Structure 1
Amino acid sequence: MFDYKSGLDFAKELDQKDKLAPYRNQFHIPKDQNGNDLIYLCGNSLGLQPKTTKAYVNQELEDWANLGVEGHTEARHPWLPYHEFLAESMAKVVGAKPIEVVVMNTLTANLHFMMVSFYQPTPKRYKILIEADAFPSDKYAVESQLRHHGYNDTDGVILWKAREGEELLRYEDLEAILEKHGNEIALIMIGGVNYYTGQYFDLKRITKIGHNSGCMVGFDCAHGAGNVQLNLHDSGADFAVWCTYKYLNSGPGSLAGAFVHERHAYNKNLNRFTGWWSHNKQTRFNMRDEFDQLPGAEGWQLSNPPILSMAAIRASLDLFNAVGFENLTEKSKKLTGYFEFLINELNNEHIKIITPKSSDERGCQLSIQVKNADKTLHQKLTESGVICDWREPDVIRCAPVPLYNSFEDVYKMVEILKAILNE
């Protein structure tokens, strides 16, 4: 526990002692019309651009201009193996082995590709369990998989729900669902960090619950990758997917990541969609050979990847390497705890934090629930220079990202919020 105090001087003192504070200068901070930094607390939706990104992307543009097709082998960072340059760094971020991780496609596409392999329904075991308030794209994806396999997309989805009057999910309720329906469930697919409440789930515990009932288990870690220590390998999960444009700061719509546990690495009998980039690298360009599956997560690739997007990811991952993920999460807990302290100090009946109080059960996002919400409070925050986001029906999501947000950012945001609430 940290001993927090009120007042701007304390916020500035925390920033002066923060060894990660200089990294803020390595990001482009959006500004208002007067050239002042906006208070950007929206990294849970789109991360800010590292200042090095332009140089990384420009290098590939220059190599393309100067080398043409020869850039695949002769570029400064050759394009043919480019995804390999990301594997080790990305594996560190999500707590995996390099063989278990690949950067490819986009988030929901990767979810579908994983379900091709890990959702194998039978007439008796075909249902999919998700959290009741899963991100809509996850819900749509699993429903479409059920329809694709000829099952009813209503009966086939089992929801892990919060109890009446509560926002957070309880593991004993999940266990009860599995005790009752475990032999009907083929796949458990949970958001690693819930987009709405910010609840960070115990991936290892969920995986064990699922595996004990004979279910495959996967996670959508869009709100976890780059935010919390996912420890995907140790979780034992069969698969996971995530995007890179939130906490991994790779730009809007950038490529996503996928994890496939090491125990599946050499299983060529797993059903999957394939393409030439999942074929043996040594014979890939022989063109007429029979398909020869690559081991590990690379074996789920289909096409040669977009290099410009990967260059932006490499720029961001190099920053993560420089910072060290343990240092990042240490600051995150302190910064988010300070934010929580200041919100609670307001003692205002019109708002409450619905994100878990324990720092081990959340990342840097705090979800502020607004009583009798009509989005007015969020609009006033935006007009006052605070960039956060609104999620229906009644939540303002704020994410003080430790790579580029300061304690003073958080202090100023809460002062602005206080002034609006007291109007």
Structure 2
Amino acid sequence: MTFENNLAFAQSMDQQDPLREMRNEYLFPQQNGKPFIYLCGNSLGLQPKVAKDVLSKQLDNWQNLAVEGWFEGNEPWMFYHKELKKLMAPIVGATEQEVCPMNTLTVNLHLLMVSFYRPTKEKFKIIMEAGAFPSDQYAIESQVRFHGFDPKDAIIEVAPKDGEYTLSTQDIIAEIEKNVNEIALVLFGGINYFTGQLFDMEAITKAGHSIGAKVGFDLAHAAGNVPLQLHNWDVDFACWCSYKYQNAGPGGISGIFVHEKHFADQSLHRFAGWWGYQENNRFLMEKGFVPEAGADGWQVSCTQVMPMALYHASLQLFEKVGFMEPLRAKSKVLSAYLFYIIGEVNKTLGFEQFKIITPQNADERGAQVSIIAKSDGKKIFDHLVKNDVLGDWREPNVIRLSAVPMYNSFEDVFRTGELLLAVSKSI
């Protein structure tokens, strides 16, 4: 596609956008009576307009049914998570049995590692991307220590080559093969939070399994952003948050995936709780944990009704657009336009003020585009916020801009380029 750096072109693209009406389903933050151009869905998604009604409905259930809400009403809380499972499965490419909404992301990562990080004296290492989000680093460090190993010995971090910002799939696979006799677990992010790089999860999974390791993914920046096929890729486990691209509210409930091939494995360790017990016999209150079938058997505590309600509201909007394929089609073009506009800003300035560190290949990125301002990065970011463009600043020098296909427009991207140019000229 041939792009143009003008408002008329951006608006014509919006008129042709089959998802343009979805923008009206969300509430944009305001500043000085004007809505922000919101490019921070990679950190916290916008509030769906239906969120208040959905939450109010559950508050009414609490008021009118009290404890009987677990079993009475149109959506008894005891079984409420099953409504979400139907809508979660297409987003991550799984069967309904393989997914479950529960807890928060890092809690779920720990629970899943209890089952799938089973180190021995010989095979005890975990391989991950260097520069993973800190919560992943902390979780992995603590799990390694829990098993009596030193993180310096047990964690292998794959870093980009000198002078580069992203990883090649070949380098990841080479590092896996290099440590064939020592790796117990391969654990990567689906998309790197800093650069926006989308990893080849299918290839990584295949490489990990070829050496007898388990393979899992933190999909915080991938679920709801890019199409996933966790079941077909033969991924062992995954978890994600729902508050970024899935717009389920701050601290929203997490989701897990466990491949069905593990359901019958009685040797798997797990930290058990009441809600993971066999559903039909749960209220017999008997000793001896018997897990519910599927991913539900990894539940620990009872359904978090209010966070689930917000997630349910958002998931229904994904169902409305046909889940991930239509969103991905728009996202590729929208992010490509953002690449183009940033290039046009640099061209007008006569030098590379903004260096893009996100892969140019659309198949290697999601919605997020990360840029480094060669000078005055924080000042430029603050100027954007002051002028109603809300992206995300990451130390030491990166501005993350995420044009989310569910609610962002081509005009949003064009207007952001105008501001980047204006502030660069004024500094």
* TM surpasses 0.5: yes
Once the two structures are superposed, residues 305-358 of structure 1 have per-residue CA deviations (whole angstroms, 9 ceiling, x without a partner) of 210100000000000000112111111111111111111112241211111111
Structure 2 residue 419 is matched with structure 1 residue 416: yes
Cα separation, partners in 2 of 1:295 and 1:373, compared to 1, 3 Å: farther
What does residue 371 of structure 1 align with?
374
2:254 to 252, 256, 260: 256
Moved more, 219-228 or 364-373: 364-373
Q: Which of the numbers 76, 81, 84 marks the counterpart of 1:83? A: 81
| CA deviation after TM superposition for structure 1 residue 178, in Å | 2.1
Between the aligned partners of 1:154 and 1:137, the Cα distance in structure 2 is 17
**In structure 2, distance between residues paired with 1:212 and 1:290:** 36
- State the match for 1:11 in structure 2: 10
Report the CA distance between 1:374 and its aligned residue: 5.0
Task: Measure the CA separation in 2 of the matches of 1:289 and 1:136.
Answer: 38
- Distance, in Å, in 1 between the alignment partners of 2:379 and 2:128 is 32
Q: Is residue 40–residue 388 contact of structure 1 (8 Å, CA) maintained in 2?
A: yes
1:102-141 residue CA offsets vs partner (Å, 9 max, x unmatched): 0001000000001000000011111111101111110111
Q: State how far apart, in whole Å, the 2-side matches of 1:281 and 1:48 are.
A: 35
Counterpart code for 1:127: K
In structure 2, the residue matched to 1:154 is 152
Equivalent in the alignment of 1:399: 402
Please give the alpha-carbon distance, in whole angstroms, between the structure 1 residues aligned to 2:137 and 2:175: 18
In structure 1, stretches of 5+ residues that fail to align are none
1:235-384 equivalences under 5 Å are 235-288=233-286, 290-324=288-322, 325-347=324-346, 348-372=351-375, 375-384=378-387
Q: Give me the whole-angstrom Cα distance separating, in 1, the residues matched to 2:380 and 2:257.
A: 39
| Length-normalised TM-score, structure 1 | 0.98
Question: 1:47 aligns to what?
Answer: 45
- Provide, for residues 145-169 of structure 1, a one-character-per-residue CA deviation record: whole Å limited to 9, x for no partner: 0110110012111011100000010
1:20 matched to 2:12? The reply is no
Report the CA distance between 1:99 and its aligned residue. Answer: 0.8
Match of 1:145 in 2: 143
1:109 aligned residue: 107
Q: Which amino acid aligns with 1:229?
A: P
SS at match of 2:79: coil
Contact 2:377–2:398 (8 Å) recurs in 1:
no
Alignment of 1:219-230 (within 5 A): 219-230=217-228
Q: 2:48 aligns to what SS in structure 1?
A: coil
SS for the counterpart of 1:235 is coil
SS of equivalent residue, structure 2 residue 255: strand
Distance 1:218 1:73 in 2: 35
Q: What TM-score results when the alignment is normalised by the length of structure 2?
A: 0.97
Instruction: Return the alpha-carbon distance in structure 1 between the equivalents of residues 68 and 315 of structure 2.
Output: 26
What is the CA–CA distance in structure 1 between the aligned matches of 2:166 and 2:343, rounded to whole Å? 19
Residue in 2 that maps onto 1:130: 128
Residue identity opposite 1:330 in structure 2: A
For residues 410 and 377 of structure 2, the distance between their equivalents in structure 1, rounded to whole angstroms, comes to 29
Aligned counterparts of 1:172 and 1:288: Cα–Cα separation in 2: 51
How far does residue 287 in structure 1 lie from its aligned partner after superposition?
A: 0.8
The answer (yes or no) to whether the contact 1:373–1:393 under 8 Å persists in 2 is no
Q: Offset of 1:303 from its aligned partner?
A: 1.0
Q: Residue 108 of structure 1 contacts residue 138 of structure 1 at CA under 8 Å; is this kept in 2?
A: yes
Quote the residue 2:216 is aligned against: 218
CA distance in structure 1 between the partners assigned to 2:210 and 2:406 by the alignment: 38
Amino acid at match of 1:397: R
Query: Contact (CA 8 Å) 2:127, 2:176: kept in 1 or not?
Result: no
- State the SS of the aligned residue for 2:279: coil
Please say if residues 60 and 75 of structure 1, whose CA atoms lie closer than 8 Å, have aligned partners that are also in contact: no
Secondary structure of the equivalent of 1:186? Answer: strand
DSSP-derived class of the 2:152 partner: coil
Answering whether residue 198 of structure 2 is matched by residue 200 of structure 1, we say: yes
Question: Separation in 1 of the partners of 2:250 and 2:176?
Answer: 38
Instruction: State the alpha-carbon separation in 2 of the partners of residues 393 and 233 from structure 1.
Output: 37
Describe the SS at the equivalent of 1:356: coil
> In structure 2, what is the equivalent of residue 60 of structure 1?
58
Note the C-alpha offset of 1:391: 0.9
- Give 1:25 shift: 0.8
For 2:229 and 2:117, how far apart are their aligned partners in 1? 23
CA distance in structure 2 between the partners assigned to 1:273 and 1:320 by the alignment: 32
For the 8 Å contact 2:26–2:48, the answer to whether it is kept is yes
SS in 2 for 1:420: helix
Question: Any conservation in 1 of the 2:345–2:420 contact (CA below 8 Å)?
Answer: no
Give me the whole-angstrom Cα distance separating, in 2, the residues matched to 1:216 and 1:307.
Answer: 32
C-alpha contact (below 8 Å) 1:196/1:391 kept by paired residues: yes
**Farther off after superposition, 54-63 or 338-347:** 338-347
Q: How far apart are residue 401 of structure 1 and its match?
A: 0.6
> Equivalent residue for 1:94?
92
**Secondary structure in 2 matching 1:66:** helix
Distance in 2 between the 1:376 and 1:122 partners?
50
Checking the alignment, whether the CA contact within 8 Å between 1:250 and 1:316 is kept in structure 2 is: yes
- Name the SS for the 2:371 alignment partner: strand
Q: Unpaired runs of 5+ in structure 2?
A: none
Structure 1 runs of 4+ off > 3 angstroms? none
In structure 2, distance between residues paired with 1:333 and 1:390: 23
Deviation at residue 290 of structure 1 after TM alignment:
3.2
Is the 8 Å Cα contact of residues 283 and 289 (structure 1) preserved in structure 2? no
Paired residues of 1:63 and 1:76 also in contact (CA < 8 A): no
User: What is the one-letter code of the residue matched to 1:4?
Assistant: F
Q: Which letter maps to 1:56?
A: V
